[in-house]
Amino acid sequence: MTEKLIRGNEEFVNRMLQEDPDYFSRLRQGQNPEIFLLACCDSRVSPSIITGMPPGNMFVHRNIANQALETDPAFTASLHFALKNLKVKQIIVKGHTGCGGIAAAREEKVDPEMEGWIREVRNSLPDPEAQPDLTPDELSRLNVLHQVKRLKEHPVYREHGWGVKVDGILFHLESGRLELLT
C-alpha cells in the first residue's frame, strides 16, 4: 500500500511540475486559501479531489458527519486559525449522501468508542419518532443545514467571522455532483 501512495505522489509531482515548474516553490512560501471547508472524513469524499482544487486553495477540517461542534477543540482551533490567521473569505460545510455517520446516528447501538461522537450527530437530526419517514440522504441534507446554523452560532465565528459567507453543500456519491443547499 505504501508503494502505491509513493507512486501516486510521483505522478502528482510530475503532473504539477509539467503544468507549472514553480508550483512547489510557491507552495512552500505559505498558504493563502480563500475557503475553510468542514467535511466528513469518509474516504470516498476527498474535498480536493471532488472539487478539482489543488493544494493550497482550501483549509480543510474533517470529522465524522461534518460536525461543527463548539465542544470539539480540534474543530474550534481549525475554525479560529482559518478566520483569524488565514482570513478566509468563505466557509463551506460539505456533507454527502450515503454517510455512515448519519446511518450510525439512527442505530440503537454503536461501539463505545464512537458513542459520544454519534450522540452529537443524533442531536443534529430530527427525532426519528417525529419524522420516521426521512431517508438517510434527507437526513444528510438536514445535517448540513444544521451544521451551517451551528457554525454561525459558534463563538469563534461570532468573534472573527463577520462578513465571511457560510454555505452548505451536499456531495451526491451516486452522481459525483455537488448540490448547493443554502
The overall average pLDDT reported for the chain is 96
Please tell me the distance from the alpha carbon of residue 66 to that of residue 75, in angstroms, as a whole number. Answer: 10
What's the confidence (pLDDT) of residue 153? Answer: 97
Tell me the pLDDT tens digit for each residue of 131-171: 889 999 999 999 999 999 999 999 999 999 999 999 999 99
Tell me the pLDDT tens digit for each residue of 53-88: 989 999 999 999 999 999 999 999 999 999 999 999
3-state DSSP assignment of residue 165: strand
Q: Quick one: 31-180 is in which CATH superfamily?
A: Carbonic anhydrase (3.40.1050.10)
Whole-prediction pTM value?
A: 0.93
C-alpha cell at 106: 439512527
Residue 108 has pLDDT above 90, yes or no: no
Closest by Cα among 105, 29, 6 to 64: 105
Could you tell me which residues are annotated as the binding site? 40, 42, 96, 99
Could you tell me which residues are annotated as the binding site for Zn(2+)? 40, 42, 96, 99
Residues of the chain with CATH 3.40.1050.10: 31-180
What's the confidence (pLDDT) of residue 54? Answer: 87
What's the confidence (pLDDT) of residue 129? Answer: 82
What sign for the dihedral angle of Cα 38, 39, 41, 45? Answer: negative
